[in-house]
Structure 1
Amino acid sequence: MKKLIFTSLLVGALAVTSFAQNGTPLTKEEKAAQKAKKEADLTSALIETGLTADQQTAVRETLEEAEEKNKEIKKNDALTDAEKTAKKDEVNSAKNDKLKQIMGAEKFKVWSAIRKKQKEATAAPATN
């Protein structure tokens, strides 16, 4: 009976540690590669959308502002997960409204489609 309990505990411990190892942190090189890919995708999307240089600058500023706000929300431990999600949704909605003003409705649709394809292409290799 003791052997059965010990074996069960050992198998359970091994299972837990094997699942915990799946979430290994990224190395500096991997983080740099992700950042470079993100920048390349953004630049490509801006060019494909056909925005002027001023519009591209305004879009980049808007995206950076939204990213900073989302980081602040994520760091705020006083908020619950539901509150964080709601605030991030507000920030993203405001960001999208501002992008629509900068680009115009038609170009925003093109932009959204391009970014969606880029995100799908980036997520696909990670799931395989």
Structure 2
Amino acid sequence: MKLLHIDASAQGERSDSRALGRYFIEQLQEQGLDLETGCLDLAREFRRPHRVDIPGYPVLGQVNRQKVRFLTSRGADPRPSSLMAWMDALNPARRAAFAFIGVQDPLCLDAQPLQFAHPEARSEALARAR
């Protein structure tokens, strides 16, 4: 299985989304999946030109035959049932951007709320994501 792991958090090693990404990859590996993993760290690399390769092939073009999974974390809780739902700019933008390159029905896993939550709500959000 080929996997492109993209990190975007500017919080570095303190990032919950980075930790969840590593956890997700570890879980796949523990299931015995043969993974070829390419990594792109947007927080570190976005200013330099780069090319991300997975078995010598650049990650470019249509991805309409690929399964796409998004794992994100957020400080607040913009889920549709919450008071902050109006602040959800990420999901509509993500759907539009990836639909443009051919991604159909991506699976979105959002761990929220984290930073601006009581410790219990934060623990529950991380447990839901896992």
TM-score, normalization by structure 2: 0.26
> Which one has the largest radius of gyration?
1
Q: Looking at both structures, which has the greater relative contact order when contacts are Cα pairs under 8 Å and sequence separation is at least 6?
A: 1
- Greater share of residues in strand: 2
- Greater share of residues in helix: 1
TM-score, normalization by structure 1: 0.27
